[in-house]
Amino acid sequence: MTKPMDHITWQEIEPGGVISEPGNASSYHTGTWRSQRPVYDVDKCIRCWRCFIMCPDAAISPDYENNRMVWNFDYCKGCGICAFECPVDAIEMQEEGE
């Protein structure tokens, strides 16, 4: 498949809605659901990786070269768990569009 869901026609649907290509959830960008965005303060961050561990969507990962955490906004739903869990308040949730 890999075609975005909102481009698939009824003729292209597999019989019974079967998904014959496993693991294609990544082609669905759940980041579009986000109403709040995490804002990261690299100076406050102590690199404990708690946000990386807690993120339910594996949207946060360590960037070794630049010695910081990075967010994949294709999949970050803006749930705020990272901001809640951060022990040094290095992550703040802000309304999208602000």
Smallest distance from the beta carbon of 90 to other proteins, in angstroms? Answer: 34
Smallest distance from the beta carbon of 35 to other proteins, in angstroms? Answer: 17
CA angle 89, 93, 98 (to 5 degrees): 135
Is residue 1 part of the contact set for other proteins (CB under 8 A)? no
Is residue 87 part of the contact set for other proteins (CB under 8 A)? no
- Choosing from 22, 56, 87, 97, the residue that interacts with other proteins (CB under 8 A) is 22
Distance between CA atoms of residues 42 and 67, nearest Å:
9
**Binding-residue pattern over the window 25 to 64 for other proteins, x denoting contact by CB under 8 A:** ----------------------------------------
SS3 63: strand
| Token reading at 70 | 């990075």
Is residue 88 part of the contact set for other proteins (CB under 8 A)? no
How many other C-beta atoms can be found within 10 angstroms of the C-beta atom of residue 55? 22
| Token reading at 52 | 């990386």
